[in-house]
Amino acid sequence: MRYILRRFGFYVLAAWVALTMNFFLPRLMPGDPATALFARFKGRLSPEAMQGLREAFGFTHEPLLKQYITYLGHVLKGDLGISVAYFPSPVMKVIGTGFVWTLFLAGSAVVLSFAIGTLLGVAAAWWRRGWVDTWLPSALVFVGAFPYFWLAMVALYVFGFTLGWFPLGHAYSDDITPSWSFGFAIDVLRHAVLPVGTVILVTLGGWLLSMRNSMIAVLGSDYVNLARAKGLPPARVALRYAARNALLPSVTGFGMALGFVLGGSLLTEIVFSYPGQGYLLVQAVRNQDYALMQGIFLVITLAVLGANLCVDIFYLWLDPRTRESRS
Amino acid sequence: MCIDYITDRGPVRAIDHVSLDLERGEFLGVAGESGSGKSTLAQGIMRILPPPAVITGGEAIFEGRDILTLDEEELRKLRWSRMSMVFQSAMDALNPVITIGEQITDTMHAHGDMSARAARDRAAELLEMVGIPGDRLDAYAHQLSGGMRQRVGIAIALALEPTLLILDEPTTALDVIVEREILEEIRGLQRKLGFAVIFITHDLARMLQFSDRVAVFYAGRMAEIGPAEELRTSPRHPYTQGLLRAFPSVHGSTVEMFSIPGTPPSLRNPPAGCRFHPRCPVAVELCSKVSPELKQIGPGHSAACHLAK
């Protein structure tokens, strides 16, 4: 329990550091969003409006410390400012929908890839030199070596455009209204197959190999040998004794991958015009929408921290040795 | 029995035509230097040899059945219910993320129907029997000391009351006092429960103290086998004699330490004739040419030496 509290404290600290950097970085850059926005309107705004914009963005002439405190207060209240690209929606609202789609897309891709890859790794190590072990790792590493966007576009062209099995883009069909219905769920799943599938395809090999290698090491250990000698059923030896222990290094990797994918689903979302965070980020950059960018960075950072906290707690449950030795 | 390790440069014979027999309830010691094939033999009997080791010939008759011809499922049933084993390293033989209680009870569940409740009670009983409080069932291996872990290993081994218990250097990782305690514990349990023991160690002095009979291995072959008392007082093979002098007496009298010159031969190309002859202080010309057969030199006492009478 103390361990969890300490980890939690660490993540709160990390979140604060992220917030602070998020505040100072734009202020260290030359120019400011208000000037940028002012320029975008090509002289159609009055100088008074410029002053108003500055205030709206928090770039006032107050001392930096006071600005910083105001900023922290706003963030805690969930107020991240007004989006320029989606004017006049508040950033929080714009990010909200995008975040949900990204969480769904990236989350299911990572979890599925991890689960399938790990199971295949268990199979490859258990039936060493069997067909899974012989063909799959090299095939998947080969596929994983392609640039992702290229693979995604080929998949989109073949399965979406030529064969027409799956829709070409977006999270759901335009002629359907979002609701908690079976039809809508099916529609969303059909739209998710290609983006999720391609991400799984390129990341599967890594999970397979890391699980396979750590499983092979564990299979040679005395306690697995003892489990065999005890006459336990093979399935129990493979899963409860070997895979359970071999999983530990992979779980650490899983925590890191979660964060990476939340930030890195950008390419997927662009190729498949998926309305997630990556797509929003591109819109924000194109429109020099500083508030939106800042908001997205912040949400990604917090999501990564949150995901890692979850993995930490999961690890605690998985490995009893961590329960005492660190507290 | 013959066991080969298949390597890139051809097979290496780790166990070379070794024949052993064991009575019900007997305590047999197997001694030898590192690499003499003691552990390979033990794993061969359990048929848990890791690749690249392969049993290339012979038979292992256990209660009238040849273990080497059993299929996986028959073997699985036989293992642990009839014969079990305590591993060399107590540190590594327990799964670090499963409670010791589960590691005892899953053995019982794998070999017969037993309610979770009954299995737990029995596991606690087993722990008490090896000197660990029964309420430590939910402990993990890292919460126990080395000696306690090895005791858990023994509790696991005795869970199904086997007729044969193989101890593969069970006390090498422990200090002398704990080692003695554990061996005495096993000896006591053996008298009470009546199982046979194959006790493997490189510590000949310790072994002579605890065993009924002792077999001495050298480079994958048996050098000498006989009643413990006889081996202690009148060893016939020069290697056994050397080994005995290499260990200080347990009774504390200071004797000059002696070590056998040279190192054990490579099993890849063992010396011709008697494998011990390059290191043997009394070797004659015959020893480098003809490999000595194991011959009887007394009741239940045999040695593989041309000079032994």
Average pLDDT over residues B137-159: 85
Cβ count within 10 A of residue B23: 10
- Determine the average pLDDT of the residues in B12-17: 72
Question: DSSP label at A180?
Answer: S
A246 and A99 within one domain: yes
- A203-226 as b/e, with b when 16 or more CB fall inside 10 Å? bbbbbbbbbbbbbbebbebbbbbb
Q: What is the pLDDT of residues B278-290, one digit of tens each?
A: 787 777 778 777 7
The 3-state DSSP class for residue A207 equals helix
CA gap A217, A22 in Å, rounded: 43
Which of A231, A321, A325 lies nearest to residue B81, judging by beta carbons? A231
B52-79 pLDDT, tens per residue? Answer: 777 777 777 777 777 777 788 888 878 8
Q: Do A63 and A97 fall into the same domain?
A: no
The mean pLDDT value of chain B amounts to: 79
Q: Which CATH superfamily is domain B2-231 in?
A: P-loop containing nucleotide triphosphate hydrolases (3.40.50.300)
Q: What's the confidence (pLDDT) of residue B255?
A: 55
A268 shares a domain with A128? yes
- Is A27 in the same domain as A150? no
Give yes or no: residues A97 and A72 share one domain. no
> Are A263 and A124 within one domain?
yes
Does residue B84 surpass a pLDDT of 80?
Answer: yes
Do the Cβ atoms of A231 and B76 come within 8 Å?
A: yes
**Can you tell me the mean pLDDT for B13-18?**
73
What is the per-residue pLDDT across A109-134, written as a single tens digit (0 to 9) for each? 889 999 999 999 999 988 888 888 88
Query: Could you tell me how far CA B18 lies from the centroid of its own chain?
Result: 14
Tell me what the mean pLDDT of segment A236-250 comes to: 87
Q: What is the ipTM of this complex?
A: 0.75
Residue A190 is classified by DSSP as H
Residue A85 lies in a domain: no
Name the one residue in this structure whose structure tokens are 């899974």: A132
Token pair for residue A61? 């002439």
A185-218 residue pLDDT tens = 888 888 888 888 988 888 898 899 999 999 998 8
Q: What is the pLDDT of residue A326?
A: 44
Mean pLDDT of A14-27: 84
Which chain A residue is nearest to residue B86, measuring alpha carbons?
A226
- Parallel, antiparallel, or unpaired: how do β-strands B61-62 and B10-15 relate? unpaired
CB atoms A320 and B87 under 8 Å? no
Using one digit for the tens of pLDDT, what is the confidence trace for A129-173?
888 888 888 888 888 888 888 888 888 888 888 888 888 877 777
pLDDT above 70: percentage of residues in chain B:
91
**SS3 call for B13:** strand
How sure is the predictor about A22, in pLDDT bands with cuts at 50, 70 and 90? confident
DSSP state of A288: T
User: Of B95, B169, B172, which to mutate for an interface test with A (greatest number of A Cβ within 10 Å)?
Assistant: B95
Long-range contacts of A125-131 (CB under 8 A, 24+ apart): A125/A211, A125/A212, A125/A213, A125/A215, A125/A216, A125/A219, A125/A242, A125/A246, A126/A215, A126/A219, A126/A238, A126/A242, A128/A216
Say which range, A4-8, B17-21, B40-44, has the weakest mean pLDDT. B17-21
Res A118: pLDDT: 92
Residues 6+ apart with CB under 8 A from B269: none
- Categorize the per-residue pLDDT at A327 as very low, low, confident or very high, splitting at 50, 70 and 90: very low
Residue A228: pLDDT over 90: no
Q: Is A127 on the interface with B (CB under 8 A)?
A: no
The total of other beta-carbon atoms located within 10 Å of residue B10's CB is 9
Do residue A119 and residue A199 come from a single domain?
yes
Same domain, yes or no, for A129 and A58? no
> Looking at beta carbons, which residues of chain B come within 8 Å of A240?
98, 106
What residue spans define the domains of chain B? 2-231
Asked if A244's CB is within 8 angstroms of B80's CB, the reply is no
CA distance A305 to chain B (A): 26
Subunit contact A245:B97, Cβ cutoff 8 A: yes
Preferred mutation among B97, B111, B149, B172 to probe A, highest tally of A CBs within 10 A: B97
Q: A139 is in which domain, residue-wise?
A: 92-319
Question: What contacts A123, CB < 8 A, 6 or more positions away?
Answer: A130, A132, A133
Q: Is the pLDDT of residue A46 over 90?
A: no
How is residue A75 written in tokens?
Answer: 């963030």
Same domain, A34 and A100: no
Q: Count of CB atoms within 10 A of residue B13's CB?
A: 18
Q: Does A327 touch chain B if contact means CB atoms closer than 8 Å?
A: no
Domain count, chain A: 2
pLDDT of residue B256: 57
SS3 percent helix, strand, coil of chain B, rounded to 5, is: 35, 20, 45
Q: How far is B81 from chain A (nearest CA, A)?
A: 8
> pLDDT > 90: what percent of chain B?
0
Check whether the bond before B271 is cis (ω within 30° of 0): no
Provide the CATH number for the domain around residue A185. Answer: 1.10.3720.10
